[in-house]
Amino acid sequence: MFPTNVQFSFHEGLPEGLTFHFDAGIFHDPKHLILQSPEGWYTFYIRSDRFVEGIVHFNVQEQEAKSPFRSPFGSFLFSDFISQSTLHEFIGFCESRLKDKSVNVIHLKHQPELYAPEKNLDAEIALQAAGYKIQSAETSAIIPVTGKSFESGLHRSEKKRLRKCREAELKFEVLPSGQLQKIYTFLEACRAEKGYAVSMSFAEIEKLANAFPERVLLTAVSDKNQLAAANISIRVYENVLYNFYHDHSPDYDHVSPVVLLNEGLYQVCQQQKITLLDLGTSNPDGALSESLLNFKLHLGARPSRKLTFTKKIA
């Protein structure tokens, strides 16, 4: 428990020369903020002595403050030492400063609840107490990574598909960063054939990979020298690997190579002591796709809400 005599203070601006008492991850990194937008950012943080105990970044445009601007999630991050009451005060501090910047609406997209169940619940309670409303609720699917095999958590239908991949002698592999364009082009073509577009251009993905080479992972399932499936993953926290883009060639529909791909990712997580494999949301057009969610649940995933809050402050 944090010593009771320690005082917390609230500040605006990027914290300089301070140590974080929590894993801030990739989406709260100033380098990633600039990738989302080169301007319009305001940062607020909670400090105790030489430590950062909480932080939030807002992008302000046309009297709206958004956290995040373009990344999968943003909102408030804070250490185990921050109580609901302190967080509630900090929310009020941020609102006051944003009002001074002529903001009248705030949007906050949370990380999936399963990332940190207790702290996410604290944040939800504090936000609702401060008058925030749930604007939308997406459903993420997350595989807890344990010492057990990936196959042990599969539904029988997916075990059958995994066996088909092995019988076809498909191989999972981790690829070097120099293969980024090849993997992106493959995924873009797979999406186009299904009538979908990728959400980021190659130039944007390349900037992300150059800024965070240690956090971007390229993997593939190959049939000899031919790609059957591929994936771009992002290590969003030390303990979370986010399956950002994945797809497979329609030529391999009969073997479902994505099952083998996720087995490989699960094993990478085991090797690197990553405890959560996030398969992303199942709301492609804003509405829940039950078939997509069920497929992920059959891979051993657990459903997890991903909430967006909004509040008018003027």
Helices (H), the chain: 30-36, 84-100, 117-129, 156-167, 180-193, 202-211, 257-271, 290-298
pLDDT at residue 40, as a whole number? 97
Question: Are residues 127 and 91 in contact, defined by beta-carbon separation less than 8 angstroms?
Answer: yes
**Which of helix, strand or coil describes residue 302?**
strand
Give the Cα separation of 209 and 237 in Å (integer).
16
pLDDT at residue 3, as a whole number? 55
Q: What's the distance, CA 282 to chain centroid?
A: 13
The token pair at 267 is: 């094993």
User: Tens digit of pLDDT per residue, the chain (314 long)?
Assistant: 555 667 999 999 999 999 999 999 999 999 999 999 999 999 999 999 889 999 999 999 999 999 999 999 999 999 999 999 999 999 999 999 999 999 999 999 999 999 999 999 999 999 999 999 999 999 999 999 999 999 999 999 999 999 999 999 999 999 999 999 999 999 999 999 988 888 899 999 999 999 999 999 999 999 998 999 999 999 999 999 999 999 999 999 999 999 999 999 999 999 999 999 999 999 877 788 899 999 999 999 999 999 999 999 98
Give the Cα separation of 10 and 180 in Å (integer).
41
Cβ partners under 8 Å of residue 225, min gap 6: none
Give the Cα separation of 91 and 87 in Å (integer).
6
pLDDT at residue 4, as a whole number? 62
Give the Cα separation of 299 and 280 in Å (integer).
13
Question: Are residues 77 and 22 in contact, defined by beta-carbon separation less than 8 angstroms?
Answer: yes
Question: Are residues 133 and 107 in contact, defined by beta-carbon separation less than 8 angstroms?
Answer: no
Q: Is the dihedral of CA 197, 201, 205, 211 positive or negative?
A: negative
pLDDT at residue 83, as a whole number? 93
Q: Is 75 left (phi over 0), alpha (psi -120 to 50) or beta?
A: left
Inter-axis angle of helices 117-129 and 84-100, nearest 10: 50
pLDDT at residue 6, as a whole number? 76
Give the Cα separation of 267 and 64 in Å (integer).
42
**Which of helix, strand or coil describes residue 133?**
strand
The helix or strand, by DSSP H or E, that contains position 175, with its residue range, turns out to be strand 171-175
Cβ partners under 8 Å of residue 308, min gap 6: 107, 108, 109, 110, 134, 135, 136, 137, 138
Structural domains in the chain, sorted by start: 9-138+307-312 (3.40.630.30), 146-274 (3.40.630.30)
The token pair at 9 is: 């203070």
